[in-house]
Amino acid sequence: MRPFKINRQFTGHKGSVYALASAANANEFYSAGSDRIVALWNINDQEDGRLIAKTNDVIYSLCFIPEANKLFIGQGKGEVHIVNLITNQEERLLQLFSSPVFEIKYLKEYQQLFVLSGDGECCILNASDFSLIKRIKISVGKLRSIAFNNDQNIAVIGCGEGYIQLLSIPDLTLLDRIQIHEPGFSVNAVCFSPDKKYLLTGSRDAHLKILDAFTMKVFESIPAHNYAIYDIAYHESGDYFATASRDKTVKIWDATSFEVIQRLENTEKEGHRHSVNKLLWLPGNDILLSAGDDRSILSWELQNAAML
């Protein structure tokens, strides 16, 4: 039983692909990575991606703000490039850190950008004029992922020491720090379920932790992969989610039972041949994108929802 099957492989990047982002068109997406290129792809177009930007450093993160039609590009030496997608010109260059920008997330309700760095700092920016609202030192390790829960007015940040840091929204004060994974094993991915009942975390210890989002207590710990988990992404329906790992696999999970529905791996010339770094569900589609160290992006399409 294989409800998800590959319907397209996007090749053209000359290095590892680390970042994916949705685009204004639901059939399009952005990608970037170690080749310093940002490309725009269309899932229905058999041609190569269109060049959007060529930068001077490795790209680790992308964030698209549809209302402003701007793309934010996080690089290896702490820079954030801001590209105006109407003019296709760089609008600003922000030097925020001296280490990689691993995550850029937009909080629409407050018009704020949260930028996470490899030196354990988080910068919160005004999304309109890009001014710095606050800089917070959170960890001595890397910060790789952030998730928002507007029902509780909190953000959760995954930290390099194996804990999560809670941050109050909108006053931006530090709340609880909770050890979730093995000490010293970075929390690479944090993700709330669409109904905000659960918080999922993934770590270098290869475990998937399921937390009650109200109590922040772990009620299930799953040895989900053989190596580090790099990303977690829910389908917009909330019925299932995906995890990506350094073990070259993507797994599709039932969001109620937390059991594996399908393992997407390199069999019969399908799947990734190296680490899988990033996931993206295309909005309004039953299509999952996965990007990896094999320089490719794979499009997995749900063939039959009844099989899930």
CA–CA dist 270, 43 (Å, integer): 17
Of the candidates 34, 6, 20, the residue with the CA atom closest to the CA atom of residue 103 = 20
Q: What is the pLDDT of residue 43?
A: 92
pTM higher than 0.85? yes
Q: Phi and psi for 305 in degrees, rounded to 5?
A: -60, -25
Class of the 17-137 domain?
mainly beta
Identify the pLDDT of residue 305: 61
Give the model's pLDDT for residue 145. 98
Relative to beta strand 250-254, strand 260-264 is: antiparallel
- Exposed, middle or buried by CB within 10 Å (0-12, 13-18, 19+), for 155? buried
pLDDT in tens, the chain (308 residues): 568 888 889 998 999 999 999 999 999 999 999 999 999 999 988 778 899 999 999 999 999 999 999 999 999 999 999 999 999 899 999 999 999 999 999 999 999 999 999 999 999 999 999 999 999 999 999 999 999 999 999 999 999 999 999 999 999 999 999 999 999 999 999 999 999 999 999 999 999 999 999 999 999 999 999 999 999 999 999 999 999 999 999 999 999 999 999 998 766 566 788 999 999 999 888 899 999 999 999 999 988 665 55
Question: Exposed e or buried b for every residue in 201-230, given b needs 16+ CB within 10 A?
Answer: bbbbbbbbbbbebeebebeeebebbeebbb
pLDDT of residue 269: 62
Residue at 199: amino acid letter: L
pLDDT at position 127 is: 95
> Cβ(107)–Cβ(156) under 8 Å?
no
